[in-house]
Amino acid sequence: MMRSLYSGVAGLKTHQTRMDVIGNNIANVNTTAFKSSTINFADLMSQTTQNASGPNATTGTGGTNARQIGLGVKTGAITMNIDGQGSAQSTGNPFDIMITGKNFFVVSNGMTNFFTRDGSFYVDGAGNLAMTSTGYNVMGWQVDPETMEIKQDTVSALRIMSEANMTYPPEATSKATVAGILDQNDTDVTSDSGKNINLNFYDALGYPYTARLTIKDTDKPGSYSVELTKLLDAEGNAVDLSKATEPFIADANVPDTRSLTLADGWEWSGNVLTYPADTTKNIDISTMATDLASTDPAVVEAANKKLEDIAKLYGSSIDDGFLDITLDTDGVADANGKMTPDTTLGALLKAGQGIVAGAGVAYDTTSGVLTTYGRAIDGFTLDYDTASGAFVGLSGSEGAKTVTLNLSQLEKNDNGISHFDNVEIDLSNTSMFNNNGTSTIAATSGDAKGLGAGRKIGDMIGVSIQQNGMIYASYDNGQTKLLGQIATAAFANNSGLSKEGDNLYSSTMNSGEFDGIGVDVTASGGYMTTGVLEMSNVDLSNEFTTMITTQRGFQANSRIITVSDTLLEELTNLKR
In a domain, 230, yes or no: yes
CB neighbourhood size of 445 (10 A): 21
Task: List, for residues 103-160, the tens digit of each pLDDT value.
Answer: 999 999 999 999 999 999 999 999 999 999 999 999 999 999 889 899 999 999 999 9
Query: Cα 70 from chain centroid?
Result: 71
In a domain, 56, yes or no: no
Query: Strand 223-233 relative to strand 379-384: parallel, antiparallel, unpaired?
Result: antiparallel
362 and 406 co-located in one domain: no
Residue 165 DSSP code:
G
Among candidates 245, 255, 243, 248, which has minimal Cα distance to 227? 248
Query: Strand 175-181 relative to strand 423-431: parallel, antiparallel, unpaired?
Result: parallel
In a domain, 59, yes or no: no
353 and 303 co-located in one domain: yes
Residue ending a domain, choose from 393, 414, 445: 445
Question: Could you tell me the residue range of the domain that residue 512 belongs to?
Answer: 88-168+459-534
Give the DSSP per-residue string, 436-496: TT----EEEES-TTSTT--B--EEEEEEEE-TTSEEEEEETTS-EEEEEEE-EE--S-GGG
d(CA 231, CA 410): 11
> Average pLDDT, stretch 311-319?
85
Top-ranked range on mean pLDDT: pick from 89-98, 367-376, 565-574: 89-98
75 and 102 co-located in one domain: no
Among candidates 370, 364, 368, 338, which has minimal Cα distance to 255? 338
Q: Quickly state the pLDDT bin for 412 (edges 50, 70, 90).
A: low
Residue ending a domain, choose from 357, 373, 389: 373
Handedness of CA 40, 45, 46, 51 (dihedral sign): positive
96 and 164 co-located in one domain: yes
Among candidates 160, 234, 232, 230, which has minimal Cα distance to 456? 234
Per-residue confidence (pLDDT) for residue 360, from 0 to 100:
45
Residue 427 has pLDDT above 90, yes or no: yes
pTM of the model: 0.69
283 and 368 co-located in one domain: yes
Q: Quickly state the pLDDT bin for 340 (edges 50, 70, 90).
A: low
Q: Quickly state the pLDDT bin for 6 (edges 50, 70, 90).
A: confident
d(CA 339, CA 14): 115
d(CA 184, CA 163): 54
Q: Quickly state the pLDDT bin for 411 (edges 50, 70, 90).
A: low
Judge whether 8 and 557 are in contact, CB under 8 Å: yes
197 and 232 co-located in one domain: yes
Helix (H) or strand (E) holding 568: helix 540-572
33 and 100 co-located in one domain: no
d(CA 119, CA 138): 9
Per-residue confidence (pLDDT) for residue 359, from 0 to 100:
44
Residue 356 has pLDDT above 70, yes or no: no
Q: 15-19, 390-394, 407-411, 491-495: which range is least confident on average?
A: 407-411
- Count of the separate structural domains present in the chain: 4
> Average pLDDT, stretch 206-234?
89
Residue 243 DSSP code:
G
327 and 415 co-located in one domain: no
Start-to-end CA distance of the chain, whole Å, equals 21
In a domain, 195, yes or no: yes
In a domain, 220, yes or no: yes
In a domain, 421, yes or no: yes
Query: What totals of helices (H) and strands (E) does the chain contain, helices first?
Result: 6, 40
In a domain, 123, yes or no: yes
Per-residue confidence (pLDDT) for residue 520, from 0 to 100:
96
Among candidates 45, 97, 172, which has minimal Cα distance to 465? 97
Residue ending a domain, choose from 373, 408, 436: 373
Q: How far is the CA of 70 from the CAs of 42, 76, 437, 565, in angstroms? A: 11, 15, 106, 19
d(CA 346, CA 325): 8
Buried residues in 307-332 as b, exposed as e (16+ CB within 10 A): beebbebbebebebbbbbbbbbbeee
353 and 410 co-located in one domain: no
246 and 393 co-located in one domain: yes
Q: How far is the CA of 482 from the CAs of 154, 405, 473, 548, in angstroms? A: 18, 33, 7, 54
Tell me if residue 372 falls in helix, strand or coil: strand
Per-residue confidence (pLDDT) for residue 498, from 0 to 100:
95
275 and 300 co-located in one domain: yes
218 and 309 co-located in one domain: no
In a domain, 204, yes or no: yes
pLDDT > 70: percent of the chain: 89
